[in-house]
């Protein structure tokens, strides 16, 4: 190992306990972890810590993508940037994550014009440990698949979406799912039907609704 690589080796050790759990599961509590980040707003390196985010009562969004300096990835992050302000207002901390270093994130963010409006923190998972924990790590390439995860303020994983390399995601749908999850946290007796958006009709599961959704759901075609 070259000397300069040895100097930074300790910087890539991820502080987490995920080795005790095989994989994050929807409906289950996510193990606490931290990752190095590049913060485009501050123009500086830092760290994200899920334990601290929970203490602040915030939601977390993790958007894994294959690699910096690629093709579909900047279009996804640019799309996510258009919804970032709305997500922050809803109480979310947003992080993009790849197996690139935070140094590569800085270089990519400042050279790719599609990323000029990216203000969310860009997290680094160079060992692939966190990518493995969330089930998006591709051992053959050493990269992460396109995975999106929503974690509530209690640390529970409430949403999981994974795409292969060649299919980009839609930030509009991510925002809708976040809005639905926030609403349901405040209204746990209700459920959001397909295509629900804020202000839309919800369902209240009960014996009377079994087999009678059509009669009780006015937005059905």
Q: Strand order of the sheet with strand 146-151?
A: 44-49, 34-39, 121-124, 92-98, 59-64, 146-151, 157-163
Note if 192 is an active site residue.
no
First and final C-alpha spacing in the chain: 64
Q: Which residues pair with 16 in a beta bridge?
A: 33
Contact call for residues 60 and 50 (beta carbons, < 8 A): yes
Among 16, 17, 73, 192, the active-site one is 73
Cα–Cα distances in angstroms (integers) from residue 6 to residues 2, 9, 219, in the given order: 6, 5, 61
Task: List the catalytic residues.
Answer: 73
């Amino acid at each position: 190992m070259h000397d300069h690589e040895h100097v930074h080796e300790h910087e890539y050790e991820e502080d987490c306990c995920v080795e005790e759990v095989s994989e994050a599961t929807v409906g289950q509590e996510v193990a606490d972890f931290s990752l190095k980040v590049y913060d485009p707003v501050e123009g500086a390196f830092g760290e994200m810590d899920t334990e601290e985010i929970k203490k602040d009562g915030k939601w977390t969004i993790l958007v894994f993508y294959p690699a910096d300096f690629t093709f579909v990835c900047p279009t996804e992050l640019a799309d996510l940037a258009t919804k970032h302000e709305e997500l922050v207002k809803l109480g979310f901390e947003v992080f993009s994550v790849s197996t690139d270093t935070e140094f590569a994130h800085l270089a990519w963010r400042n050279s790719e014009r599609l990323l000029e409006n990216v203000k969310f923190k860009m997290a680094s998972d160079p060992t692939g440990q966190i990518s493995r924990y969330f089930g998006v790590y591709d051992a053959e390439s050493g990269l992460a698949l396109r995975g999106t995860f929503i974690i509530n303020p209690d640390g529970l994983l409430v949403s999981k979406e994974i795409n292969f390399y060649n299919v980009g995601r839609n930030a509009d749908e991510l925002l809708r799912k976040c809005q639905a999850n926030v609403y349901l946290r405040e209204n746990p007796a209700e459920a959001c039907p397909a295509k629900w958006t804020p202000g839309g009709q919800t369902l209240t599961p009960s014996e009377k609704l079994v087999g009678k959704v059509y009669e009780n759901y006015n937005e059905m075609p």
